Structure 1
């Protein structure tokens, strides 16, 4: 086993902020000195410049291309994280509604969305996994959706518990809204089935500070007229995401990530294949450990992005974390709400990094067996 000395260049398995692709990180380093063709540091370029207007336009086009969406989908770059969307969404679509919005309660983050929605109007929890400890997702036969709901909301990937939908729930007749904060742009899909998608950047897209919102224009036709401008999607659309001073640096890094996805990876189908391979390699390690590593999520609902697991005892988990950090593997602590361990495998984390984690885990297990 490695010594307790901390190694340099730790690999980032944190639940967020996640790792940037190495190629993007190199471009970011250059841009902090001077953006190519501009001559100024990215940290000092005006959000009112023609250059930044071009960044916004290209990034909007890149996201539409990656998702396969037409021009009637607006792409916004907002602030406040997914947490602000928990409020901003129902302010626009639920306030004054005589019928409840449908929500799924599948884990920590979907639970955070509920009280904010209830401030604005009625909410119906279609299904809850709370009594089972959020260890699985609902089956189709357990879901009874309303035909007259103003919208249906769910979280595609529960970062804390390591649960991910591998299908699209809900009725296409009801606006489907999804918090994709931890798996946005990680796999291919029929994204035209969504009326709105939102995701903060610090998992698969870039650094913290910007939230991507993709929404179909007709979703806003009945939104209230008395919303504060900053919290009104229509005002943000009219201002092209520059209603106030936006996080220029974070938005530029997201642009670099989308270029990387398009030009180096080749699109979301190719990114999905890489992410599937990373997840399969790590889950094979768990499943082959004879119970030493125990996954939290039910097998059909396992996340490709966040692998939550336990060891036989808290003391052994503490020993694992210390040894992992010394070996250059950072961020493997589980979320404070459930404890244990968690490895996050976001887009920017390479297959080689996952293989290094697997080799460490197998070596740690053999070492512990030898101590008995």
Structure 2
């Protein structure tokens, strides 16, 4: 008599299969692996309230009806979905230039290398292929943070950590310097125990340290005030009142992670998963030099130079906008020549921020 589990992957021996999938995820290079049920997220109402208050800013894709529907039920993203395999990649708290060194551009740690989306996609595809070998006929669908999945909610239910006051996922041994990805599958796999302990306690260092007051009480982030949003996702002008608080952070922000006690001894991976590829451009260690490098590039030349990196996200004009703000905040007379050039740039966005920076330097 034929083995029914060969025809129906949901009937496969859940215990051994689960551990084989966990081993396959480790073999694909992931640091954490957990299994969560394909059920509506625990914090669905919090997410809906967050959208209703407009905290997502210009990220309209988060509020699209179809995207909201899929975020509130993984089965909308993959019909027949029964399980989410949630994985993480440590990128480690490698030291970066301190903001006090005003000539240096401060960049979020994850961005100093390959675009993490590409790395996740490659490794999730490898895990998907392994699952297909383990359970022929199983269906899977991968997501990184661009997909309609409330990843931290599912990660908490998969036992990978708790959601901290800065709204990031925290793990008592690993801190928060890791990225999350998910593989949705129609395999029915026993969930892992959720992470139920809140270990933030009375600490509010992340809330107090945020220079733009983006972190609100109740584990809520107003993205419209977040430096990461302002320097990456925002397509238009950075509100003038917020520009001084950005300092020389020209791409993303790690402040709420830098002050978190759980990151004081966070480990670094043996090999950085987002390690730059041969020939990949690295940002100059001086904001003036970086602005001078970008100024002559048009949009196509910028894309060609920064393809495969996180810097492609804000585009040429967005990155020059950020550098102009950083140069204005740095207060360096040496920035005036490049800012004058940017003040005549073809992009109205770049011109506006360069002229603002010149005004700041002129006192």
- TM bucket normalised to smaller: under 0.3
* Structure with higher strand content: 1
| TM-score, scaled to structure 1 | 0.25
| TM-score, scaled to structure 2 | 0.26
